[in-house]
Amino acid sequence: MAILLKGTPVAEAIGQRTAFAVSKLAARGVTPTLAILRTGEGADAVAYENSAVRACEKYGVAARRVTLSGDVSKAEFIGRLSALNADGLVHGILVLQPLSPGLDFRTIRNLIPLRKDVDGITNASLGGVFAGSETAFAPCTAQAVAEILGFYKIPVSGKKIAVVGRSLVVGKPAAVLLTGKNATVTLCHSHTAGLAEITRAADIAVIATGRTESFGAEYFSPGQTVIDVGIGWSDKKQKLCGDVIFDEVEPIVNAITPVPGGLGSVTSSILANHTALAADAAQKRLLYLKQG
């Protein structure tokens, strides 16, 4: 039986850090606030929004839902986003995907100012993560991978880690964060030759492909830790599952994240934490400017 790396205790530990930051801000009259911008009523976006709002409110971060219609014009969307950018009471902005047709996420994401980019999706934030800058927030899911390993005291330094998936929001930044913790990371993708050989040889395998229930026993070996980032609907099982075929893999490896119950709550808790940190930084900037 593998050790189950459940997300809830990790999310709660991060939540305690958030609550501490929130209480210090409250003493200065500041309520950290996250604005969540969504277009349309897509089920995945609504579910993610609800979990983000729950995670925020649990630890005293205010969440402001900004919901626009599924056919909102580019001008209206950009107008609303610009207003949030300029609003001193909003410290973090999360733009949910998918955006309505006509809105290009690759362009829109870069309209969020670095200091409010609490999900680390702008080029500026990603550049900061790659440069090891402390003023940039990492994408929450990528950071969640590192937080789970840290919470469960799974050694990373000097270990071989295979990260499968190279998206800008998960695989690539996770590889950078883990490299920063002195792991030797192999970043894999859909063109990687001999993928199963690489994942089997790793001490830790991080699977983030969005290919639900695609990674079975042949990809893993005894003693490994498996972080399953994927979350998708399994028609076969009629429930949400990860990218890893849990029933096949769990008996082989040493530790594994369950899906659901793994990374998701950690990701939302990090989002709330980033919002509190963004509010703290904004407050410090204001004080500095006032001092002349």
Minimum gap (Å) between residue 103 Cβ and ligand NAP:
18
Find out whether 202 and 160 touch, Cβ atoms under 8 Å.
yes
Q: Which of the residues 170 through 209 are near ligand NAP (CB under 6 A)?
A: 170-171, 188-192, 195, 208-209
User: Which segment (129-137, 160-168, 219-227, 274-282) binds ligand NAP by CB under 6 A?
Assistant: 160-168
Minimum gap (Å) between residue 167 Cβ and ligand NAP:
3
Find out whether 238 and 266 touch, Cβ atoms under 8 Å.
no
Selected binder of ligand NAP within 33, 122, 125, 267 (CB under 6 A)? 267
Cβ-Cβ contacts under 8 Å for 275 (sequence gap 6 or more): 32, 33, 34, 56, 61, 91, 92, 118
# residues contacting ligand NAP (CB under 6 A):
25
Q: Assess 36 for contact with ligand NAP (CB under 6 A).
A: no
Minimum gap (Å) between residue 203 Cβ and ligand NAP:
19
Sign for the CA dihedral angle at 190, 195, 200, 201 comes to negative
User: Which segment (75-83, 108-116, 245-253, 262-270) binds ligand NAP by CB under 6 A?
Assistant: 262-270
User: What DSSP state is assigned to residue 291?
Assistant: T
Phi and psi based region of residue 194 (left: phi greater than 0; alpha: psi -120 to 50; beta: remaining): left
Find out whether 230 and 222 touch, Cβ atoms under 8 Å.
no
Minimum gap (Å) between residue 215 Cβ and ligand NAP:
8
Q: Which residues sit at the interface with ligand NAP, rule CB under 6 A?
A: 141, 164-167, 169-171, 188-192, 195, 208-211, 229-232, 263-264, 267
